[in-house]
Every structure is written in C-alpha cells, then in structure tokens.
A and B are shown apart, each in its own frame.
Chain A
Amino acid sequence: MTSRLTIAVCAPRPLFTACDDRDARALIELSRAAGHDAEAITLPSSDVDGTFSERGALRWALVDLFAHGQRASDVVVCMHPDTLLLRHPNKIAWVRHSWSLSITETLRFAARVVVTDGGSLRTSHDDAGDGAVVRVGAIADVLDVVCAGAVPVGAMR
C-alpha cells in the first residue's frame, strides 16, 4: 500500500478552446479515489501540440514544485515536453501523443516514462532497451506507475 501522496499533474493549457483534457482529469479523479491528493497545475499557452517549445519550456523552468514549505508535491506527472523543465526531483513523463523528444532526451529530465495508447517518442539510435520506459494501456495503470517508487517529499530532503 502506497502512503498518501501529493500528485501534481502538469500541462500547458490552451485558452478559449474546447480542449478539455479528459486524461488529466481522469488521472486526478483516480488518484483522489485512491486516497491521494491530486491537482492540475497549468500554465496558459497560445498553442499546444507535442512539440517542445523553448518559450514554453522557459516558463515551466520558473516553476518550482519542490520548494520548501507546506504542501510540496511528492510526485509530478508531466503531460507535455515543455513541462519537463519544471523543478522537482521526481518527475514522470506521461506520453499520450507524439512527442518531439527521444527517450534519452526525456529521461534527461524525468525519472520515469510511461507511454499510453497513441503515445510515441522520437526514435533515436541510443534509445533501445531503456528499462525506465513503461508501456501501459489504461489510465489506472498510469497511476500504478506514478505510485511505484514514489517517495514522500519529506523523505527526499
């Protein structure tokens, strides 16, 4: 049984579009149903796709979800390449679309990578055989990956 975790689900958020991120909401609801605290963390973005954007990443680099104080996040789920640059020691990349980064590039920022149906990373000659990448079919499996090996922040300091 995993202890109660504080899970931040991070994604850019387009404005005034019908793009309601059902996957993020589903993960948050599943997390809460399992007894964890989960919340969406967003930054506004004028356009969102799977492409890494320097401008977007710069903004995420200014976000620190591990600063000392109350309610720091135990684990962070990154739902877009730009979000990988936010500051936290336990980031999980959740790949649901076609990302412009390779596995190696993604693992430079994230501790683990979970890929669900429809998700893919750019292929690269040094990507093969990396055990940190997990392929699953359902969002409930994503939560299992999030909880596996997650360490409450108090223990990381």
Chain B
Amino acid sequence: MTGVRGLRIAVCLPQVPFERGGAEVLADNLVHELCGRGHDAALVTVPYRWYPDHQLLENMLLWRLLDLDRGERPPDLVIGTKFPSYLVRHPKKVVWLFHQFRQAYDMHDTGFAQFADDARGAAMRQAIRRADHEALSEAAAVLTISANTAGRLRAFNGIDAEVFYPPPQFHDLECLGDDGTVLSVGRLDPAKRTDLLIRALARVPGGRATIIGDGSDRARLEQIARDTGVADRVDFLGRVDDQTLREAYGRCRCVYFAPFDEDFGMVTVEAHLASKPVVTTTDAGGVLEFVEDGRTGLVVAPDVDGISAGLALLLSDAELAGRLGRNGQAAAGALGWDEVIDRLLAVAA
C-alpha cells in the first residue's frame, strides 16, 4: 500500500475559530505526511461551535450537507477525525477518531456536563448518539487514537475500532539538562486540571513550575497561584514557538499532565521523547497507556495530596526522575506514520 500514490484525500476537521490545539496539529501533520507520500491531500474545515445546543445540531447538519463527492475533482478518500467531521458523507470514508462529543456520553455525569438532566438534554444526547452511530457505521473502517477512545466507542456505540497512536509532532525532542522544575503543556481548560498542579505546588517547598499554553481557564489559574502564595514560583508563558517548547521539554525535571480521562495525550509522548517522566493521575485516561507507575512516571490519586507527593518525590530525586524519563523514551520514539497511513489508505484500494 505504501506504493499507492496520487490519491486525492480530504482530511476533515472542525475548526474552532481562533483556537488551536492537539487535534489541529495532528490533522495538519496527517495532511503533510500524505502529501509527502505523493498524494494530493487537503484539510477540509468547517467552523464549529458546540453552544448553544441548537448550534451544535446545525453544525452536525452542516457536515451532513457537504457534497465532497461532487465537482470536477472529488476526493478519492475522505478521512473523518473528531466530532462532528465524521458525519460527512462519502462513498470512501474512513474515520480516525480523535474523539466524540463526550458530553453526550461519559462526561454527562461529571462536572464537565453540557446538557441538562431534562427532556431537552436527553433529546440532545440521543440525537448525537444516533448521528454518531449512523455516520460511524457508514465508514469503511474506524480507527481510534487510543485504546481509551476505542473502549468508549465499544461501550457506548457498540462499534469496534482499531487503535493507531498518533505520532508526535516533534521527533527531535531530547533531554537538554535538568533545571529542577515542573513543566505543564496544554490548553488552559478546566478539564486539563492545571489548577491541581498549582495547588499541589503550594505544598512542595521551593518547587517551581512553568505553564505553557493559553485558554479560557488562564485568569482563574493565575488567581489560584496568587491565592495559594505560589505566584512567584509559577511562570505562565502562554503560547510559545516550537523552539521554546522544545527547550522547555528538554530542560525540565518532569512533566505534569493530569487531564480528566484524556483521549490520548500527546504531551505524554513528547515528555518521554525528551526523556522526562510524567506525573499523572489514576483517572487520566489515555495518558495511562504510556505512563507506567514507577517505570516511566508516577500515577497518583487525582487530588492535591497525591499530586504534591508525586511532585515532591521527583523534585527531590534527580536520579529517579532521570531514570523514569529514559525508560519512556523507547516506546515514544517508535511511533511513526507508515502503519496508520497504510491502514487509512487501504479503504481507497
């Protein structure tokens, strides 16, 4: 299959205007890798809002109304990624599922719920589940980015999927030293639980953290840093360029990454590529497919007590941190594009 060239491939992704995160990077990289293999790949985006509820339904309809199989040069293959892009219709459709709209599934009974517990909320959740089932059943194959995502798909939709981990954006990450600090990378969003890092740091005397990323939660997090007396030990860098990010990974002591039931968690892979251990939590989802407690990082309880204990251990023991970090490097370095692209293109054959 690696010999097949010249296919027209549309990679579909919802666009949240003026926001950019892991899904956008991954989709861009997929297009780049496909083009590099001699295909004519293009990113198809549709502006996306998931609130208020009617806007979510309209967005689902919009993907359904796209006519990618028309025109002078229709795509030979369409790749759906995250909700609701896989609702697009095409006779040759394959889905590499980044994630579903989890508020209609596992997140409904958590603090991250969107829909009310009333008839309207139930109808919204049912509409999303029905649309997911129909659209994913149309696909010639469904792949996911993690076993965690595949497990949810099987549990809620009864659909089996093959797991293909996304390769990292930077293969050239490396350990550049050890400045004794904790690094946090990612969108500042309550589900990423950066607040737990800040609160935990308040219990680790002298501990310092660098927080890279921006988002709706930033003002709240900066206030927590002031309230807990660690504002002078936490650096909020906002969005940074690639080189700054590489250096931050390369020079930190360890990486904190403890989102709630994350789909995959590219930060984990990037940390391991830089030979840094990851401090995460028992409920971090896909992160746990790479972080093994005591071997490639620390897996602790999702509370301030657990996280502060984990941070204190690694910040006080550089030798331990170095050993755990090096253990994670091999698995992360093995992730590549060939296997997943071969599987995606098999649908077009």
Binding site for B on A (CB under 8 A): 6, 8, 13-17, 37, 39, 41-47, 55, 58-59, 62-65, 67-71, 73
Q: Mark B56-68, 1 if CB is under 8 A from A, else 0.
A: 0011011001111
Docked pose: A71 CA to B8 CA in angstroms: 33
| CB proximity to A under 8 Å, residues B240-286 | none
Closest 5 CB pairs of A and B: A46-B71, A71-B18, A46-B70, A62-B62, A62-B58
B17 contacts A65, C-beta separation under 8 Å: yes
Binding site for A on B (CB under 8 A): 8, 10, 15-19, 40, 42, 44-47, 49, 51-52, 55, 58-59, 61-62, 65-68, 70-75, 216
Find chain A residues with CB under 8 A from B15 CB.
Answer: 41-42
- In the complex, which of the residues B10, B46, B49 contacts A43, with contact meaning CB atoms closer than 8 Å? B46
Q: What are some 10 contacts across the A-B interface (CB < 8 A)?
A: A15-B10, A15-B71, A16-B42, A39-B17, A41-B15, A44-B44, A44-B66, A59-B62, A59-B65, A63-B46
B42 contacts A15, C-beta separation under 8 Å: yes
Docked pose: A15 CA to B75 CA in angstroms: 8
Q: A46-B70, A65-B47 are in contact. List 7 more A-B contacts (CB 8 A).
A: A15-B68, A16-B40, A41-B15, A63-B62, A64-B58, A67-B52, A68-B51
Q: Which residue of B lies closest to A10 (CB)?
A: B47
Find chain B residues with CB under 8 A from A69 CB.
Answer: 49, 51
Find chain B residues with CB under 8 A from A55 CB.
Answer: 67
Find chain A residues with CB under 8 A from B75 CB.
Answer: 15-16
B40 contacts A68, C-beta separation under 8 Å: no
A59 contacts B55, C-beta separation under 8 Å: no
Tell me the minimal C-beta distance from A67 to chain B in angstroms.
5
Tell me the minimal C-beta distance from B20 to chain A in angstroms.
9
Docked pose: A70 CA to B190 CA in angstroms: 14
Docked pose: A42 CA to B58 CA in angstroms: 16
Which residue, B8, B42, B216, has most C-beta atoms of chain A within 10 A? B42
Tell me the minimal C-beta distance from B74 to chain A in angstroms.
7
A6 contacts B18, C-beta separation under 8 Å: yes
Find chain A residues with CB under 8 A from B8 CB.
Answer: 15-16
Given contacts A15-B42, A62-B59, contact A46 B19 (CB under 8 A): no
- In the complex, which of the residues A16, A44, A68, A73 contacts B17, with contact meaning CB atoms closer than 8 Å? A73
Tell me the minimal C-beta distance from A51 to chain B in angstroms.
15
Tell me the minimal C-beta distance from A80 to chain B in angstroms.
15
Docked pose: A16 CA to B42 CA in angstroms: 7
Q: Which residue of A lies closest to B61 (CB)?
A: A62
Q: Which residue of A lies closest to B70 (CB)?
A: A46
Find chain A residues with CB under 8 A from B45 CB.
Answer: 42
Docked pose: A45 CA to B8 CA in angstroms: 15
Find chain A residues with CB under 8 A from B51 CB.
Answer: 67-69
Q: Which residue of A lies closest to B62 (CB)?
A: A62
Find chain A residues with CB under 8 A from B40 CB.
Answer: 16
Find chain B residues with CB under 8 A from A64 CB.
Answer: 49, 55, 58
Q: Which residue of B lies closest to A42 (CB)?
A: B45
A41 contacts B17, C-beta separation under 8 Å: yes
Docked pose: A68 CA to B53 CA in angstroms: 12
Tell me the minimal C-beta distance from A66 to chain B in angstroms.
10
Docked pose: A13 CA to B12 CA in angstroms: 13
Docked pose: A8 CA to B8 CA in angstroms: 28
Tell me the minimal C-beta distance from A10 to chain B in angstroms.
9
Docked pose: A14 CA to B10 CA in angstroms: 11
Tell me the minimal C-beta distance from B124 to chain A in angstroms.
16
Find chain A residues with CB under 8 A from B65 CB.
Answer: 58-59, 62
B74 contacts A46, C-beta separation under 8 Å: yes
Docked pose: A70 CA to B214 CA in angstroms: 12
Find chain B residues with CB under 8 A from A67 CB.
Answer: 49, 51-52, 55
